[in-house]
Structure 1
Amino acid sequence: MRGGKTMQNEGHAQIDNIKTMNHLLPIKKRDSVLSRMAELLEEERTNIKTINQQDIKNYSGDDLAMEKRLLVDDAKIDGMILSLQQLSSQNDPIGVERFNFDHANGLKIINKTAAFGTIMIIYESRPDVTVEAGGIAFKSGNKILLKGGKESLQSNLKIVELWHQALKENTISIEWVEYLNYNREETQTFLEKPTQKVDLIVPRGGEQLIAFVKKHAKCPVIISGRGNNFVYVNAEADLNQALSIIINGKTSNISVCNALDKVLIDTNLPNWEVFAKQIIAELQHKNVIVLGDQSISKIADVPQIESDLIWHEEFLDYKIVIGTTNSDQEAIDKINKYCGGHSASIITKNDAVAQNFMDNVDTAAVYQNASTRFTDGGQFGLGGELAISTDKLHQRGPIGLQHLVTNKWYVYGDGQIR
């Protein structure tokens, strides 16, 4: 790698049982590294928080969501440790049989899951990704190239130092987890002319980062897309549920892609104007800037949106747009036109209406009577996530351990020719 800017060369002399990165580590070895990494995070908890405060102090931007994602506190470290513990307890995702066929000529044909090889993760601000995404990639038998943002550099370097310690203590080459301390120009050069084989790239961050990676990458890219999630309040909604779900979706954590940005209210809802005013008052009480479409701005003292283009925006801020719709189909059409393909929720007591909505809304996750904040690998029982994909190939929604694999065909014969 270029200019000594990676952390790959340290300690190679002590490693004698792994000479190449071209083979799969035994599952016991992988699990042992994950378990040891969890222990090291606990042992180094205070140091990690202290180093992270350096990154916090050095951050000079005005992006509130990025600053919130940058912070590593006890809750974040607890989450990192839990994700590693869950990963180490899960079954090996490699070698799982997907298809078995006995050919008429005697060939036995089996399809099994296989590791990609080398996965590059490019992300902004979140040091916990260095643990969670790195752990998922490693458990699934892949080498990891971690490219974090400059705002979280010191935190990331400390965490990668712990990765390397866990690897070396298990007599495994530290090349399995590599940190790329590149600036933007160096990253672009690597994407266009990689100095080592890269099989898959996953960008986690804003739209500019994703566009940058898609433009320059020479290998497959899984898009961990934006949110811009919707809640639709149907005419048969439980209004107490609706209010609680909207407040939770918007205010529990503004810095995440599963946060709520848009609300649609069915005008067939009895006294919808009263309900709309109640939502607005509750949101404003929590310091959320509320914008409305023409119908909402007429009945409440909120600014009217200047353009329909705002329906496309993901805010990652204390900001929300509330609008009205005249039918379930109109709500479905509007969500499909403007949403980011991430999550959408319908609030209704009518299960048939909900099922129609969920079948026809084109998002990775659809909900009935629940907050979009649950679109998360841990919450979905995956034991963490590499990213949340808004692509449809090869996996949609949270990418967990069992999804970070490709496949391979095993064909057993006895001299058959065609």
Structure 2
Amino acid sequence: MNTLLSIEKRNAVLLKMAVLLEQERQALININKLDLEGYSGDDISMYDRLKVDNSKVDEMITSVTHLASQEDPVGVERFSFNHDNGMQVYNKTASFGTVMIIYESRPDVTVEAAGIAFKSGNKILLKGGKESLRSNLKIVELWHQALKDHEASADWVEYLKFNRTETQAFLEKPSQKVDLIVPRGGERLIAFVKQHATCPVIISGRGNNFVYVHEAADIDIAIDVIMNGKSKISACNAVDKVLIDENLPNKSEFVKTLISKLKAFKIEVLGDETISKNHSVEAITSNDIWYEEFLDYKILIGEIASNQDAIAMINTYSGGHSSVIVTIDQEEAKLFMENVDTAAVYHNASTRFTDGGQLGLGGELAISTDKLHQRGPIGLQHLVTNKWYVHGHGQTR
């Protein structure tokens, strides 16, 4: 077992990682080009996540630099109690031990997610996708160099070159202790990990996020929030569904404007029975499509009778990630926000802010759609468990 590194050493390794990423910037971009050339799929969002360019390297450097500046999440006192018998009792945060991160097509995860887990005092096991193998191995090489430069064992970051069968075998019967698994990827990957893992798993579920345009909506805000929500189709915080209140004034004009703006950005617009009939867009053939996370240039617009109906609809179909109400009515916003069952709820703002960096966490390991042990973006301060420290002088019960 690796002994917990001091916070000074953990921070020094992170800062060295920033220096190495800058030094090896061009080499990493060139290696990533080979991964991009080798990618044979036609999933545009996957390709987008696989690509490493200058701005992606900048983000990696920013993330490790920022992590080094954050408070140590380990050993934070959460509760203390003086027992009648004189014992001193403390509850403090503690690292999990070993965190395994299983992910697809995202070399930035090899820096950012590993960095968060490392700063929280954990050993990291990385299992990336074959499509990003060259990029990932280059980044792991940099981790090992940063660790060695500060007399820390390279074991703190380990890359597992497993195929699917080997991964399944490892999940079911790990050859070393694993305390937590974080799958980062699509629903198939998450289902696979959940099915086979023998230790706790943080579920980063599907997006499928909804915007409800209430009858008292500010129309300009509604357009901006929807368009911005569709501005990055590969993100789990993208908007896929729009519900328009049937009592919205100038409803027809609003829908027409919205559709033309979406189409100008090459976004395919689908409609429920009412919208497709009145605005000549393609009609959906089954309600099952309301469950789908698109990750594509595609959006579905429907009409809804009321706020209560919108809440029920979202709670039935959404992925439990993010939802928005656009309204100037504070009471209606409160009703929506308290009753919609998603990790993040917005009033007059874009779902694109469901992101650890944007919500003040500095960065994130994943966005959890589970309710235990943390919901929504999981930042540095959440990637800890806890431990009881009890100090006595011979007390017995």
**Deviation sequence 1:261-303 (CA, Å, 0-9, x none):** 0000001110212111111111011111110001101111111
Residue of structure 1 in register with 2:304 after alignment: 325
The whole-number CA distance in structure 1 between the counterparts of 2:277 and 2:158 is: 56
Q: Give the CA deviation at 1:210.
A: 0.4
2:137 is matched with 157
The residue number in structure 1 matching 2:332 is 353
Distance 1:375 1:54 in 2: 32
Aligned mates of 1:310, 1:400 — CA distance in 2: 32
1:396 aligns with 2:375: yes
Residue identity in the other structure for 1:46: Q
SS of 1:52's equivalent in the other structure is helix
Q: CA deviation at 1:75?
A: 0.9
Normalised TM-score (structure 2): 0.99
Aligned residue number for residue 22 of structure 2: 42
- Whole-Å Cα distance in 1 between the matches of residues 55 and 216 of structure 2? 38
Distance 2:88 2:284 in 1: 62
Q: Which runs of 5+ in 1 are unaligned?
A: 1-19
Within the alignment, does 1:61 sit opposite 2:41 as a pair?
A: yes
Shift of 1:325: 0.6
Q: How well do the aligned residues superpose, as a CA RMSD in angstroms?
A: 0.7
Residues 206-355 of structure 1: pairs in structure 2 closer than 5 A:
206-250=186-230, 252-355=231-334
Match of 2:354 in 1: 375
Are 2:171 and 1:191 aligned?
Answer: yes
- Find the aligned partners of 1:296 and 1:198 in 2 and give their Cα distance: 50
Q: Kindly indicate whether residue 204 of structure 2 is the aligned counterpart of residue 204 of structure 1.
A: no
* Counterpart residue number, 1:27: 7
Number of the residue aligned with 2:388: 409
TM-score (norm 1): 0.94
Sequence identity of aligned pairs in percent? 68
Return the alpha-carbon distance in structure 2 between the equivalents of residues 170 and 355 of structure 1: 51
1:104 Cα deviation from its structure 2 partner: 1.5
Greater mean deviation of Cα atoms: 139-148 or 102-111: 102-111
Amino acid of the structure 2 residue aligned with 1:34: L
Q: Partner of 1:201: helix, strand, or coil?
A: strand
- Alignment correspondent of 1:9: none
AA aligned to 1:165 is Q
Per-residue deviation at 1:137?
Answer: 0.2
Q: Please give the per-residue CA displacement for 1:234-281, whole angstroms capped at 9, x wherever unaligned.
A: 11111011101101101x211010011000000111021211111111
Which of these residues, 157, 161, 172, is aligned with residue 152 of structure 2? 172
Quote how far apart the aligned CAs of 1:79 are: 0.7
Distance 2:216 2:57 in 1: 42
The amino acid that maps onto 1:84 is V
**What letter corresponds to residue 213 of structure 1 in structure 2?**
V
What's the counterpart of residue 125 of structure 2? 145
The residue type paired with residue 285 of structure 1 is A
In the aligned structure 2, how far is the partner of 1:268 from the partner of 1:101?
Answer: 56
Instruction: Give the counterpart of 2:75 among 88, 95, 99.
Output: 95
Paired with 2:24 and 2:357, the residues of 1 have a C-alpha distance of: 23
Q: What's the secondary structure of 2:282's corresponding residue? A: coil
Residue 112 of structure 2: aligned partner: 132
The separation in 2 between residues aligned to 1:44 and 1:347, in whole angstroms, is 45
Report deviation, 1:375.
0.4
Distance in 1, matches of 2:189 and 2:58, equals 28
Partner of 1:116, secondary structure, is coil
Shift of 1:320: 0.7
How many residues were matched structurally? 397
Task: Return the alpha-carbon distance in structure 1 between the equivalents of residues 10 and 359 of structure 2.
Answer: 23
Query: How much has 1:414 moved relative to structure 2?
Result: 1.8
CA distance in 2, matches of 1:75, 1:380: 21
CA–CA separation in structure 1 for the residues paired with 2:58 and 2:360: 17
- CA shift for structure 1 position 416: 1.4
Supply the distance in 2 between the matched residues of 1:174 and 1:299 (Cα, whole angstroms).
Answer: 63
Gaps spanning 5+ residues in structure 2: where?
A: none
Q: What is the alpha-carbon distance in structure 2 between the residues aligned to residue 47 and residue 37 of structure 1?
A: 15
Amino acid at match of 2:66: Q
Q: Secondary structure of 2:283's match? A: coil
Deviation at 1:388, TM superposition (A): 0.4
